[in-house]
């Protein structure tokens, strides 16, 4: 395969990854790293480096549309970034100190967990819960557009959500995936935010988290322009298309599509790690 053919196929795969990532709120990295590693046989650390740059592009492409439509909550996102950025630095530090097989095992488990947590899901509107004193003090509340007007919500269980965000950041730095699965879990399940607020705020956050650890990957030489450019352009295009589809899409169908793709990739990643193919 020539370099041009390789770049074209990588760009096409990245477009599909960006589309799925934007629709699920998990970022294109959760798809593109397994695809680069398993199909194109790219070293997993270089795949992670390219993915981190694409995650920044995904966040930039989708976040603008979500903010304009009134779904993302910037105040909640910036507060939780404190935890995710600290975790991202830890994860990036660990990358050069663990084997590629170990990274593959962790990636496979995270993919299967992402599929399970996404399929489990949550209702469109936030469930009624007791007010969180810390959430009220930090004004972690907002509203988003609903069929009959604005729907108000307030963050609950803020300490638990903040702790999960540190874990999300560590996984992002280690695996280059944006770790939207854990971010959505923290906001959707722990903090009791509406699902679309969780996914769109996750898309807003993943770019900052990825940028935090990308600098370490650049310093270690794990980001190559010839691989990163088609990945970034493809994911950016896919994320823009996905963000437009999400506004009118059925949440249940989005979860089902995501689960089918991620389960297949997760099982293949675990198999490849166990057989030494990574």
Report the candidate in 195, 235, 242 with the shortest Cα–Cα distance to residue 65.
Answer: 242
pLDDT at 42: 92
Tokens 């709120």 map to which residue?
25
Let me know the angle formed at the C-alpha of 102 by 178 and 48, rounded to the nearest 5 degrees: 35
- pLDDT number for residue 251: 61
Range(s) of the domain holding residue 49: 3-274
The pLDDT, as a whole number, for residue 120 is 57
In the chain, DSSP assigns E strands to 141-146, 149-154
Domain total in the chain: 1
pLDDT at 252: 67
Q: Are 124 and 195 in contact, with CB atoms under 8 Å apart? A: yes
- Alpha-carbon distance 81 to 140, whole Å? 14
Residue 162: per-residue pLDDT: 92
Long-range contacts of 60-63 (CB under 8 A, 24+ apart): 60/207, 60/236, 61/18, 61/22, 61/236, 61/237, 61/239, 61/240, 61/243, 62/22, 62/200, 62/203, 62/239, 62/240, 62/242, 62/243, 63/200, 63/203, 63/204, 63/207
At 26 the pLDDT is 63
pLDDT at 149: 82
Q: Please give the pLDDT value at position 129.
A: 54
pLDDT at 115: 75
Residues in the chain, pLDDT under 50? 122, 126
pTM strictly above 0.85: no
């Amino acid at each position: 395969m020539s370099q041009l053919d390789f770049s074209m196929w990588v760009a096409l795969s990245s477009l599909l990854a960006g589309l799925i990532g934007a629709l699920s709120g998990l970022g294109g990295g959760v798809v593109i790293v397994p695809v680069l590693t398993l199909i194109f046989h790219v070293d997993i650390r270089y795949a992670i480096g390219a993915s981190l740059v694409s995650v920044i592009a995904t966040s930039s492409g989708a976040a603008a549309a979500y903010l304009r439509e009134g779904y993302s909550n910037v105040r909640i996102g910036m507060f939780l970034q404190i935890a995710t950025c600290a975790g991202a630095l830890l994860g990036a530090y660990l990358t050069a100190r663990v084997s590629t097989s170990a990274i593959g095992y962790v990636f496979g488990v995270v993919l299967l967990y992402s599929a399970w947590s996404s399929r489990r899901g949550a209702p469109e509107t936030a469930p009624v819960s007791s007010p969180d004193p810390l959430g009220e003090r930090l004004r972690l509340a907002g509203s988003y557009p609903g069929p009959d007007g604005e729907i108000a919500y307030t963050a609950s269980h803020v300490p638990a959500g903040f702790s999960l965000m540190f874990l999300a950041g560590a996984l992002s730095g280690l695996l280059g995936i944006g770790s939207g699965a854990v971010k959505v879990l923290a906001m959707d399940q722990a903090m009791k935010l509406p699902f679309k607020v969780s996914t769109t705020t996750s898309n807003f956050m993943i770019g900052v988290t990825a940028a935090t650890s990308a600098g370490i990957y650049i310093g270690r030489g794990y980001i190559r322009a010839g691989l990163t450019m088609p990945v970034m352009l493809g994911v950016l295009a896919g994320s823009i298309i996905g963000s437009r589809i999400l506004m009118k899409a059925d949440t249940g169908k989005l979860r089902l599509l995501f689960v089918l793709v991620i389960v297949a990739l997760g099982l293949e990643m675990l198999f490849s790690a166990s057989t030494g193919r990574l």
